[in-house]
Structure formats: structure tokens, C-alpha cells
Structure 1
Amino acid sequence: MTERTHFAGPKLVSAVSATLGFAQVIDDIAATAAERERAHRLPHEEIARLKALGFGALRLSSDTGGHGASLRDMFAVARDVAAADSNIAHAFRNHLWQVEAALRRRDHPFHARVLELTGQRKTLGLSFVDSDVTAAGARPTKVLSRLEWDASRDVYVGSGDKVYATGNLYNDAFIGVAVESRAGRTVQYVLERGPGVSDDDDWQGFGQRLTGSGTARFRDVTIPAAHLYPADPPKSDEAAPWGFTFHQVYLTNCIAGIVRRVALDAVDVLRTRGRNFYHGEAAHPTDEPVLQSLLGRIRAYAASVEATADRAVDALQRAWDAHGTPDDYDATLAATLAASEAKVVIDDLAPQIASWLIDLGSGSVVSRIGALDRHWRNIKVIASHNPRLYKERLLGQNLLTGQLPPTGAFF
């Protein structure tokens, strides 16, 4: 009787990505990720390919330049990209958030412009930060500056620096909020890349080194009056106040992608190890019981991380579906709590899973050529966004007293 075998477990590319036509580019990105890390080669070409295929326009309808993907499907493709190279997935975060915000307010001219550019397969970043990021309680994600009217050229002119400008190196346009000089009113604007826009690859993080998270500089850039738009009206008292849960779920989703890649790399590491320890029980590492067990542990924990991330994504999808209905508040609150729960668990487990990869390969995998240390480093840098300690406290407070989450970024 022939012995049956069946290879199961994680795969780099999900069925969603394959159906939408992203399988080949994701495979190619994965194949060259270690080389990019070693050479510090910014992924301009890889990001351009994703843009051309409509990764940034996944959520738009097919008749407006997109793929008509659900929020859940968008996160599935983003996780696949993160498994291939988390730098690239992370670089799209600010753009994809702007698309989500615009889809909810597409009748507003500013958001309509965001969707128009997105449908042209362009991506948008952030600009013009004035807030003092060193001050206690500062909110560095606040985008605010002043635009001066130049009557001789019939344009507004502005200058400023955007620190920690993740993804801006790769973006085609930039959005912001400013005070315009003629009427002194707060406006939103869209600035397309052109003279006066420069990006410095001066991000010094020990992980996520290729996200383009350095300083974006804007020097006497010009914005036509037609590209200034009214500010969004304030939310009503009945509206759910948590508008930034997407950011946290997206980053946690990126970590889940890295963990999947760790599980995939673990299989390769064990299969390619040439020799076992002299005190092992098998001639070859693939037959070593303790290494087989560790590979199984990595697989199981990685699957649990992905399931936990899926729970947060599903909660966010339900909140999206409930927008504008009587269930909006409760669904949005549930999403931000689920996002916090996922972050606490995944931020704790993911670095441990990445370290098990080194245990599995031992001295065979510590060479810089394989760049396997990038997984742990990238996880820790992504996890540093709004540390889990504050999420843990909030979750405990909520259970004890009903304390509600903060309403700013990353909650």
C-alpha cells in the first residue's frame, strides 16, 4: 500500500491575491527581499509594479480604476505583501487609510480628488507637520501649516517638513490640512509631486529600513486654489469617535504577514541544514525529533497569530458595514477593542516566533547573507507604534470600569 502524504500549512500567496492577479509580483518581491535588505536597496520598482496592478486601488470599484475588493480582502492582499516584504506593505499604509476615509465621504470634493488620483493608480502621502513632536502629549500625526497666497502666480505657496514620513519616498501626491492666508480658514489640500518636494532616506530605525520613513521636505511648493478644499465638518455627537482603528489593524496585519514568512522560512531552514549536532538523535536535521517539534510549534503559533489578526480585521469589516447605521457606535467600539486585543497578543508572540527561527537553524542561519534577523527587527519596529502597554491598561480598565478607548491615532 502506497503511503499517503499531504503538505499543508502556510502559503505565501492567498487565494484572494491569486484571484486578483497579484501572485507573481508577490512571489518576485519575496524572492528578492533578503537581497534588498543586505544592499539597502529601496523598493521603488517593486512598489511601482504593485501600483500599476492596482494594489493602492483595491477598494475602488472596477469602473473607477480599482478591484472592488472588500476591506477584508484588502487586508488579505496586504498581509501577503507583508509576508513577501513588510517594508513594502507598511509603505502603503497612509495611502490605504486615505482611501478608506475618502470612500466614506466621496461626495466631498477633497475626498473625491483622493479617489480620482487613486483610480489613476497613484498613491498619496502626508505633509506639513508643525506640531512639536518633543512636547508631552504632542500628536505628531496632526497635519497643519500655513499657505500664503501669491497673487503674481495665482497660487498658494507653502514650506515645511514632514518627519517620519512613512512611504512618502514612493508617493505621487500629498495631502494635508492648512490655514490659507486670504480668508484665514482651515482647508484641506492635495499637492502633487513636483518642484520643491524632496525626500530624505534618513530613517535610522534598526528595522523596517526600507519604508521610506525619513523626512519629507517641502520648499516653496505651489498649490492652485482649485486644489484647496473645505475642511471636513465635525462629527456629530452620535457618531462613533474612533476613526483611526484602521492604522493599528493594518500594522498588526503586517506583523502577521512577517510571522507567516517566518514559518515559511523555517521550513527552508530545516530542509537546507547540512548537518545535525553530534549529540542529536538523527543523522540529518530534518529527521531530528526536537527540531521537528520546534517547526511544529512555529507553525501552530504562526497560525494562531494569523487567526488573531483575522479577528481584528473581521471586527473592522463589521464596523465598516455598520457605518451610518444605528449599530455604528457599538461596532466601531468593538473594532477598536478587538484591535487592541490583537496587538497585545501578537506583539508578545511574534518576536518569540522569530527568535525560534534562529533556534531552529542555530549557527547555520546567523549569516547576514540570509538576513533572517530582519524578521525580529521588523516586528519590533512595527510593534513600537503605540506600545502595547497602553493597550493592556485600557483593556483592563474597560473590563473593570467601562473606560472607553482614546479617540486619537492608533485606537
Structure 2
Amino acid sequence: MSQQTNTRDAVVDYDRLAAPFRPIFERIAAGASAREKDHRLPHEEIRELAQAGFGALRVPVADGGLGASLPQLFALLTELAAADSNISQALRAHFAFVEDRLVAAPGPGRDTWLGRFVRGELVGNSWTEVGSVAVGDVLTKVSPDASLGRGGFRINGTKYYSTGSIYADWLDTYAERTDTGVRVIAAVSSRQPGVTHGDDWDGFGQQTTGTGTSTFRNAVVEEENLIDFDTRFKYQTAFYQVVLLAVLAGSVRAAEREFADEVRRRSRTFSHAASPVWREDPQILQVIGEVGAAGFAGEAIVEKAAHALESAYRAALDARAGRISTEREEEINDLAELASAEGQVALTPLAVNALSHAFDALAASATSTAKNLDRHWRNARTAGNHNPWVYKARLVGDRSVNGTELPRVWAIGAAK
């Protein structure tokens, strides 16, 4: 299979790329509110996307994929988030794992994974340890098991925040080898005895992302699916964050659409309103316009950050081929990290405030639980609470004042 991917001359036209998925997005949007109210996980919707090739967006055309650039991928994730932000976030780990395999050394292992993505196989997340584990410690272990034959390992541990795992064929699991002490990504088949998934995420937003507890009890993982963590693609933290930016931007666009629909249909007004017809009231139209402008700004932030990621991706290929130095690659990665951090600091309060302001367009009826309009604010507020933006603001300021580069790896846990 080809190692060369997605050059500027080879990327597909965006509208042609998006066209097959937009009818699926429309069906997803039509059922999004009901799914949340009934807590029905979008298994069928995610499977339809996978079967249509959505999970292979980044795989090169020569390898059977769709050849999307990173700006195109994130524009599509934003469109999907405007249909149902839960689904974009549920696919976050999948696209990160795809990215890692794209920049991996060429060979049979890489080719095998690209083939799986083209067949519609999906990857979920399983990184965060449960409980008061100290920052940096890894309790999930993979151990060689002679009974499985050469190259057979068992994995044991429990992970929380396993976003997308319920829908996945494979789990991208952060673990430690007991034989070497090396930190690895264990790509564990999710459809086997010894792997269980819990839908026990209790957040007030993003309720159908399939986030919860993943448990491994002597589950099997092959040595070829143990990937040294130190070889992980270097712009991963920025990548993960930009997916959340797409979730935020899409949430604002979804609210703009649904609040505008409600305004258009509303027949009641107030004695002191600026117009006898609600949909013609200039103050109400202003509110919807301000929400739409916030959506535009969100999309622009996502696009800008995605272009920084695209530069980091190209730098990874160039560094592997010896065309640029490792130092230059790291400089480009730092710019991608900065773009994702500045985007997060700007977009999180912008999106949350815009979604709160949207309720000013409908008076008390906007709070109806039957309308379920509050899910957009709850979803954005929840997505915005990941990787706290207040820390990112401080780090951006430290870089501006003192020249301190942003950290490239984040972790969560109890203080040591």
C-alpha cells in the first residue's frame, strides 16, 4: 500500500467528498433529540456512517479510502456535530488512531490497519485510569501468556472516559507491558470475552457518546497490536482538542438551525414586542443572527486549527523521509498545539455564551423539555469542560511572555 498520502494536488473536492454523507447527516439530525431523550445509543447511525466509508476519510485513495485532508475531515466532523454532536465526539478516538497509522512506518502492520478502516472497522478510546491513580501512573497491564503461543498477551485493567468504545471494533488502550515496562497502545479487539463496556457516563451533556467504563479481564491482544507509545504521532494532543472544537462549532450551528425553526413557527408575541409578528421582530432576528455569527466564528477557528494540523502531518512525513530535521518537525507540532489551545480558549466561552443567548429568541417556551433545546448548551458545556481551557489560557500566556512551549502530552490523575 502507498505511504504517500493526501498531497495538496490529490485531495478530493470538499463538496464531492461531503455529498454522500449529507443525506446520512440529515437522518441523524432528525432523530438526535429523541435519541437523547430516550437515551438510545446511535449504534445504527454510526454503523451507517462506517459502511459509507466515513471512518476511512483520511485513508489515501490508492489504499481504498477517500483521501481527505485534515481541513476536510474537520469540516465534515463539524457538519456531523451540527446533526448530532455526540456522534462526532464518539468518533474522536477512531480518527486519532487512523492518524497514527497514517504516519506510521510503511509495512504490513500499517497496511493491515488501513485495510480495516476501509472495511468499516472503528476504534474507540480507553486511556484514562479509574480512581485516584497518580498522574502519570498506568495500572492497566499487558503480560505475555505462553498458553497463547508466540506473541500472545493478556491485558487487565479498568478504564473510564472510554468515549466511543461501545460502538467500536477495536479499543485504543493505554497500558504498560509487564515484561519490558514499556508504555504501549494496545489495540484490543472489543468483541471478545474479557472485554466489557459500561454506558455509565453520568454527565448532563454528550450523553450518547458511548462514554463509560471499559474493563479488561485476561483479554487477548497480539504483540503486533502493541504499539510503543513513544512512537505515537506527535500532534495527537492538538488533534484530540480540535475534534472538541468541531463539536463546539457544530453545536452552535445546530442551535442556530433549531432556534430559527422555532422562531419561524411561533405565533404568539408580547404586547411590548418590537413587531406584531415574531419572525419579523428585529430584536429576535438579531439574537438568531448573533448565534449564527458565533457558528461562523467557530467554523473559522476549526478550519484554522485544522490547517495547522495538516502542516504537522506533512512535517511528520517529511521528517520520516529525511526532508526536514526533527527539530523543525517539533517546531511545526508546537504551532499546531498553539493553534488548538488558542482555538479552545476563544471558542469555549464563545460557544457556551452563544448557546445561552439563543434562549433569548424564544422567551419561556424555549425551556420546554419537550423541545429539548437545552441539549445544545449542555452538550457544548460538557465538551468545553474537557482539558480545562483556563489552563490552556495560562500556557498560551506563558508562551507569549516567557517563550515556554506548550506541553505535548497531557494526563489526568491524583496529585503525587
Fold match by TM threshold 0.5: yes
Match in the other structure for 2:414: none
CA 1:105–1:31 in 2, change beyond 3 Å: closer, same or farther? same
Q: How does 1:88-99 map to 2 (within 5 A)?
A: 88-99=87-98
Structure 1 residue 173 corresponds to structure 2 residue 152: no
SS of residue matched to 1:269? helix
Match in the other structure for 1:118: 117
Q: CA deviation at 1:398?
A: 1.1
- The alignment-based identity, stated in percent, is 33
Structure 1 residue 64 corresponds to structure 2 residue 57: no
Q: CA deviation at 1:400?
A: 0.9
CA 1:283–1:79 in 2, change beyond 3 Å: closer, same or farther? same
Which string of whole-angstrom CA distances, capped at 9 and with x for unpartnered residues, describes residues 225-265 of structure 1? Answer: 5x444636669xxxx96542101111111111111112212
CA 1:228–1:335 in 2, change beyond 3 Å: closer, same or farther? closer
Which string of whole-angstrom CA distances, capped at 9 and with x for unpartnered residues, describes residues 19-41 of structure 1? Answer: 45101100000011011111111
SS of residue matched to 2:80? helix
Match in the other structure for 1:215: 213
Match in the other structure for 1:258: 251
Match in the other structure for 1:201: 199
Q: CA deviation at 1:55?
A: 1.1
- State the alpha-carbon separation in 2 of the partners of residues 187 and 403 from structure 1: 28
> Aligned pairs, how many?
389
Q: How does 1:27-38 map to 2 (within 5 A)?
A: 27-38=26-37
Residue identity matched to 2:307: D
SS of residue matched to 2:362? helix
Match in the other structure for 1:368: 369
CA 1:156–1:300 in 2, change beyond 3 Å: closer, same or farther? closer
- State the alpha-carbon separation in 2 of the partners of residues 200 and 391 from structure 1: 31
Contact 2:142-2:177 at 8 Å conserved across structures: yes
Q: TM-score by structure 2 length? A: 0.86
Match in the other structure for 2:43: 44
Q: How does 1:10-409 map to 2 (within 5 A)?
A: 16=15, 19-107=18-106, 110-127=109-126, 131=129, 133-135=131-133, 138-139=135-136, 144-151=140-147, 155-176=152-173, 178-179=175-176, 188-192=185-189, 193-224=191-222, 227-229=224-226, 231=228, 242-323=235-316, 324=319, 325-326=324-325, 327-409=328-410
CA 1:108–1:165 in 2, change beyond 3 Å: closer, same or farther? farther
Contact 1:305-1:346 at 8 Å conserved across structures: yes
Structure 2 portions without partners, runs of 5+: 1-12, 412-416
Contact 1:162-1:215 at 8 Å conserved across structures: yes
CA 1:345–1:64 in 2, change beyond 3 Å: closer, same or farther? same
Structure 1 portions without partners, runs of 5+: 1-13
Contact 1:54-1:67 at 8 Å conserved across structures: yes
- State the alpha-carbon separation in 1 of the partners of residues 124 and 375 from structure 2: 25
CA 1:187–1:346 in 2, change beyond 3 Å: closer, same or farther? closer
- State the alpha-carbon separation in 1 of the partners of residues 39 and 229 from structure 2: 40
Which string of whole-angstrom CA distances, capped at 9 and with x for unpartnered residues, describes residues 144-200 of structure 1? Answer: 413241427774333322211000000011233555566776665432222222211
- State the alpha-carbon separation in 2 of the partners of residues 249 and 160 from structure 1: 29
Contact 1:128-1:159 at 8 Å conserved across structures: no
Match in the other structure for 2:10: none
Moved more, 183-192 or 55-64: 183-192
- State the alpha-carbon separation in 1 of the partners of residues 340 and 39 from structure 2: 32
Match in the other structure for 1:3: none
Contact 2:130-2:160 at 8 Å conserved across structures: no
- State the alpha-carbon separation in 1 of the partners of residues 251 and 16 from structure 2: 17
Q: CA deviation at 1:94?
A: 0.6
Contact 2:145-2:154 at 8 Å conserved across structures: yes
Contact 2:130-2:158 at 8 Å conserved across structures: no
Which string of whole-angstrom CA distances, capped at 9 and with x for unpartnered residues, describes residues 88-146 of structure 1? Answer: 010000110011011001426654443232122101124476x565245x148x68413
- State the alpha-carbon separation in 2 of the partners of residues 220 and 301 from structure 1: 48
Q: TM-score by structure 1 length? A: 0.86
- State the alpha-carbon separation in 2 of the partners of residues 149 and 20 from structure 1: 48
CA 1:399–1:107 in 2, change beyond 3 Å: closer, same or farther? same
- State the alpha-carbon separation in 1 of the partners of residues 260 and 392 from structure 2: 33
Moved more, 147-156 or 65-74: 147-156
Match in the other structure for 2:7: none
Match in the other structure for 1:10: none
- State the alpha-carbon separation in 2 of the partners of residues 300 and 128 from structure 1: 36
SS of residue matched to 1:220? strand
Which string of whole-angstrom CA distances, capped at 9 and with x for unpartnered residues, describes residues 272-304 of structure 1? Answer: 112111211322101212112222222222212
- State the alpha-carbon separation in 1 of the partners of residues 31 and 109 from structure 2: 38
